Structures are given as structure tokens and as C-alpha cells.
């Protein structure tokens, strides 16, 4: 059995890869388990070196990889060339976060008259299964945020190749694995499996200790259910995304020029990557009478997008999504026809009365692709009621009239209860990988709302704390030892962690 990827523009086959068979999977799992015991004893600075080596190797193959990615995804060379650099920088970032050492959360309570000595440290879970997304074939795929964070945290990764860019998946893992093993990593630090059966077997495998997923609701929920049926249940960190709402205040839509600017920014955001972003703003809530829907329609016509989707299935779902939203009470304001390409899809602006946003309505669910809904609210309490009915989302936006906007403070509060990230006077697409990033959100945007799949806190998903009580120092794992050979920040007796004085 093989998996074949196709050019979204022409439907021509691009890459073919053999599915991973049972015996091969068993060998992969054995190697991952062996690597896990090695990684559990490596220092974070050592894993940082591996990740930096992988980043350099990615950059060295930038043009080759971007070209292959463009053939498999049609996301266009300039964007894909840039994304290789982003993916490389992400790998460096997670390595740097590990080396900083706070992720281990070393906490020491010295013995008292009534309590024993306790040292608590985060330990790596073991092999992690990574299921990447098709819409970011570098930044959120086999070498994306999940893989970088897992290896940084000390967990080997078994990635599942994405079927839509199977050739690129194979090639990226080859390149990164070669670079990391040359830098001293064990063979099992990063491996790939191909095929849906192998992916499901991975989630069921006793050796696998956590699953990270980026993609559709259907895919993420299926893995979550599968993991919950295991004898030893493991966490599934599925980042799925939903409708990311953007609210425009009255002051933010004060005149026609302001509305036109909002519309233009909105169109720019929701057509990025042909609308295939998990942070795509899918719903614009604008004040009644501002003409927002017509302005968005005009801006969409100006933008004149020609969406070519990542797969035939996604392209088809754009059309069926529009139909379902029309059936649910929306009306069409503008529809840009699909371009002449194998996976061409339309782009569309729909409008619906805010009263139609009722729990259970199709209008409250994501339509992946360049399709958006514009609703007009009359009074603040109508807006508040509507926001309450929305599903949890990764991000939420607010367009204001500036620092004295009377609606803004309360809307920031309400939106922060609905999303993992609140963006003011900007658009939700674009997710910086930094210390303060939160790329997550309430169920069903993710399966674990306390987790983030981007940013420094992403390592926490792959760790489990262990307390060592009265354990003789030289029997402790290195990160828990009193002489602190890795120079880690340590919280001692509840005092705020301090970096150790110099290297020891």
C-alpha cells in the first residue's frame, strides 16, 4: 500500500510513499523507546544543539523543500520559502527554551521538623506521536512546533506523514534526523510513519505517551476518542480551531473610511493561505447600519482571490460549507467563483441576522477556507448574548476606535473567556512563537484548553512532575541534584526561582 500526494493545481501525482507496515512500526516503536531512555538523561543544552543542527539543515535545503512543498500544497513559493525559515527558527526557539531550564520547574523544599526533604522536577513522558497539519507544511507539520517542543522537553517523536504532503514529510524527517544524529542524537529521536492505519496504531501503542495533533475537528476528536479507549489513557493535545470571531465596536466603524479599512484588513486576514488558517477570522460582528457586509464584499472583489485548496476534499467542503450556511439562514453577499484549478474553490461573504446565531446552528461552526459570515448587532446586550453562544476559539479579535472606546474593556473581558488569545486592532492570523504566546483555547477549539501548541509553554505538554522524597543526592536525576550541574533555575523553600551564580 502506498500514499500519493497530488498537485493541487493540476491533480498530477507528486510523491509516492510506502505505508508503514506492522513489523516496521514495531521497529519504530522500539527505537523510540530506546531513544526515550537516552533523552531522559540528556541535558537540555545537548538537545538544544540537536535542534539547532536540524534548523541549519532545514535552511540548507530551503529551496529544494520549498519547491517540493509548493508542488504538494500550492501555497506559493514566497510564502513557503519564508515558512522554512520560520520552522528553522522555531526549532531553535524550543531548544533555547529548554536550555534556559525553567521548563523543568525544579522545586526544592528542605526538610523541616515535620516535613521531609522534597525535590520536584518535570520528567519527560516518553515517545510522543505528532500529527501535523496540511496548511503549514513546515511550521505545523513533521518538524513544526509540536516536534520542536517535544524533543526540547526530552521526548522522542514519531511523526505521521501528512498524506497531502507525504513527499515533503519524508524529506523533512530525513534531513532533520540526519542532522540531529550527526550532532549526537540517538537514531530514534525522530521517526516517521506513513498511512492512516499506522497513525491509528501509533495512538494505540503502549510505548506512546502523548499525542499532539493540529488539524480538523473530525481528525482531532477521532484521535482523542481512540486514546481514551486505551488501557493506559494518554493525553491528546489536539489544536483544531473553530470560528474565530472579530467584534467591531461602534467607534471602530465610525465612518465609511473606517469601515473600508476594517473590511480590507479582514479580507487580507481571511484569504491568507486561501483561508486555510486555524486562526482565520470566520465571523465579523459589526454595528448595525455601518454597512460592514457590503464593504467586506467590495474588499473581496478588489482582492480577487483565486483559492486553490490543499486537497480536493477541502475544496469540496468549501462549497458544501457555503450551502450549509445558506440553509442555516445566511444570505450570500458576494461569491468569487473558483479558479480553474484541480482544487479551486470559491470565496464568499455571507450575512445573517445576529438572532440566527443560536446554539447548535451551523453558522457557529467553522467553514475552512475563504468563507466568512458578517452579522450586525444593534445593542450591547444583544452583542453580549451572541458572544455567550459562540464556541470556544483559538483567537478572538476586537477592532476599536482607540484608547477611549467605551465598549472595549468589557468586550476584552468577554472575549478572553471565549478564546486563547485576544487581539486588539489587529487580525488573529499570525502566531508569534515567543514566551508569552498562547495558541490554544476552550473546548472544542482544543482538547486541553490549559495547553498551548506554540510558545515556550508548549514543552509542558510532554512532561510529568515527580517528587523525590528524602532521596540520597547521587541517586537523583541530574536536574534534581543539589550541585545543579545544568545550572537550572530552582525554587527553594518557596522563594522565587533564581538563576544559579555562574556555571558550576
Q: Is the CB of residue 374 less than 8 Å from the CB of residue 350?
A: yes
Least Å from the CB of residue 296 to a copy of itself: 22
Q: How far apart are CA 443 and CA 387, in angstroms?
A: 15
Least Å from the CB of residue 421 to a copy of itself: 4
375 is catalytic: no
Q: Is the CB of residue 347 less than 8 Å from the CB of residue 368?
A: no
Question: Which residues ranging from 395 to 424 are in contact with a copy of itself (CB under 8 A)?
Answer: 400, 403, 408-409, 412-413, 416-417, 419-424
Report the candidate in 142, 119, 117 with the shortest Cα–Cα distance to residue 132. 142
| By CB under 8 A, residue 443 contacts a copy of itself | yes
Question: Which residues ranging from 201 to 230 are in contact with a copy of itself (CB under 8 A)?
Answer: 228
Of the pair 206, 353, the CB lying nearest a copy of itself is at 206
DSSP state string for 277-337: -TT-EEEEEEETTS-HHHHHHHHHHHH----B-SSHHHHHHHHHHHHHHHHTT-EEEEEEP
Question: Which residues ranging from 371 to 400 are in contact with a copy of itself (CB under 8 A)?
Answer: 392, 400
Catalytic residue among 33, 239, 334, 479: 239
Radius of gyration of the chain measured on its C-alpha atoms:
24
Q: Segment contacting a copy of itself (CB under 8 A): 135-143, 315-323, 346-354, 453-461?
A: 453-461
First and final C-alpha spacing in the chain: 54
Report the candidate in 135, 102, 150, 94 with the shortest Cα–Cα distance to residue 437. 94
Q: How far apart are CA 29 and CA 348, in angstroms?
A: 45
Question: Residue 185: which residues within 8 A CB-CB, separation 6 or more?
Answer: 35, 47, 50
Choosing from 23, 113, 114, 503, the residue that interacts with a copy of itself (CB under 8 A) is 114
CA distances from residue 142 to 152, 310, 340, 387, 404 in whole angstroms, order as listed: 15, 17, 31, 35, 45
Question: Which residues ranging from 84 to 113 are in contact with a copy of itself (CB under 8 A)?
Answer: 100, 102, 105, 107-109
Question: Which residues ranging from 263 to 302 are in contact with a copy of itself (CB under 8 A)?
Answer: none
Least Å from the CB of residue 4 to a copy of itself: 36
CA count, 13 A, side-chain hemisphere, 319 = 12
Q: Segment contacting a copy of itself (CB under 8 A): 49-57, 58-66, 259-267, 472-480?
A: 472-480
Least Å from the CB of residue 39 to a copy of itself: 13
Catalytic residue among 278, 334, 375, 479: 278
| By CB under 8 A, residue 82 contacts a copy of itself | no
Residue 484 DSSP symbol: -
| By CB under 8 A, residue 32 contacts a copy of itself | no
Q: Segment contacting a copy of itself (CB under 8 A): 63-71, 259-267, 347-355, 433-441?
A: 433-441
Of the pair 67, 118, the CB lying nearest a copy of itself is at 118
Of the pair 254, 476, the CB lying nearest a copy of itself is at 476
Instruction: For 440, list phi and psi in degrees, rounded to 5.
Output: -165, -160
Least Å from the CB of residue 380 to a copy of itself: 16
Amino acid at each position: 500500500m502506498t500514499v500519493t500526494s497530488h498537485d493541487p493545481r493540476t491533480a498530477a501525482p507528486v510523491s509516492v510513499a510506502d505505508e508503514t507496515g506492522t513489523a516496521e512500526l514495531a521497529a519504530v516503536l522500539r527505537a523510540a523507546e530506546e531513544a526515550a531512555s537516552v533523552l531522559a538523561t540528556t541535558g537540555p543544552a545537548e538537545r538544544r544543539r540537536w535542534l539547532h543542527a536540524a534548523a541549519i539543515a532545514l535552511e540548507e535545503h530551503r529551496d529544494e523543500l520549498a519547491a517540493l512543498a509548493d508542488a504538494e500544497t500550492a501555497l506559493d513559493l514566497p510564502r513557503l520559502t519564508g515558512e522554512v525559515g520560520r520552522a528553522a527558527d522555531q526549532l531553535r526557539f524550543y531548544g533555547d527554551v529548554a536550555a534556559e531550564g525553567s521548563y523543568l520547574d525544579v522545586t526544592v523544599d528542605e526538610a523541616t521538623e515535620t516535613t521531609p526533604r522534597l525535590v520536584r522536577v518535570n520528567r519527560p513522558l516518553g515517545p510522543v506521536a505528532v500529527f501535523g497539519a496540511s496548511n503549514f507544511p513546515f511550521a505545523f507539520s513533521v518538524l513544526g512546533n509540536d516536534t520542536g517542543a517535544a524533543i526540547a522537553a526530552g521526548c522522542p517523536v514519531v511523526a505521521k506523514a501528512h498524506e497531502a504532503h507525504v513527499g515533503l514529510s519524508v524529506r523533512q524527517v530525513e534531513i532533520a534526523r540526519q542532522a540531529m544524529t550527526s550532532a549526537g542524537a540517538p537514531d530514534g529521536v525522530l521517526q516517521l510513519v506513513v498511512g492512516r492505519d499506522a497513525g491509528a496504531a501509533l495512538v494505540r501503542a503502549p510505548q506512546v505517551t502523548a499525542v499532539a495533533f493540529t488539524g480538523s475537528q473530525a481528525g482531532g476528536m477521532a484521535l482523542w476518542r481512540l486514546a481514551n479507549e486505551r488501557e493506559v489513557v494518554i493525553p491528546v493535545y489536539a489544536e483544531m480551531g473553530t470560528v474565530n470571531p472579530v467584534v467591531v465596536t461602534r467607534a471602530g466603524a465610525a465612518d465609511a473610511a473606517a469601515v473600508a479599512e476594517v473590511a480590507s484588513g479582514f479580507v487580507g486576514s481571511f484569504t491568507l493561505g486561501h483561508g486555510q488558517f486555524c486562526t482565520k477570522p470566520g465571523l465579523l460582528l459589526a454595528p448595525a447600519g455601518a454597512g460592514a457586509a457590503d464593504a467586506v464584499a467590495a474588499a473581496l472583489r478588489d482582492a480577487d482571490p483565486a483559492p486553490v485548496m490543499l486537497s480536493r476534499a477541502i475544496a469540496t467542503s468549501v462549497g458544501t460549507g457555503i450551502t450549509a450556511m445558506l440553509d442555516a439562514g445566511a444570505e450570500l453577499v458576494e461569491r468569487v467563483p473558483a479558479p480553474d484549478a484541480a482544487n479551486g474553490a470559491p470565496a464568499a461573504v455571507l450575512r445573517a441576522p445576529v438572532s440566527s446565531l443560536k446554539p447548535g446552528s451551523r453558522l457557529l461552526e467553522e467553514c475552512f477556507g475563504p468563507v466568512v459570515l458578517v452579522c450586525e448587532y444593534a445593542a450591547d446586550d444583544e452583542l453580549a448574548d451572541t458572544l455567550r453562544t459562540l464556541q470556544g476559539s483559538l483567537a478572538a479579535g476586537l477592532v476599536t476606535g482607540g484608547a477611549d472606546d467605551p465598549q472595549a474593556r468589557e468586550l476584552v473581558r468577554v472575549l478572553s473567556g471565549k478564546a486563547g488569545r485576544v487581539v486588539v486592532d489587529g487580525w488573529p492570523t499570525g502566531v508569534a512563537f515567543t514566551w508569552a504566546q498562547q495558541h490554544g483555547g476552550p473546548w472544542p477549539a482544543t482538547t486541553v484548553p490549559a495547553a498551548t501548541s506554540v510558545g515556550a509553554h508548549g514543552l509542558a505538554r510532554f512532561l510529568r512532575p515527580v517528587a523525590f522524597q528524602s532521596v540520597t543526592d547521587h541517586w537523583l536525576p541530574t536536574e534534581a541534584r543539589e550541585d545543579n550541574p545544568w545550572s537550572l533555575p530552582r525554587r527553594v523553600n518557596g522563594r522565587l526561582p533564581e538563576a544559579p551564580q555562574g556555571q558550576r
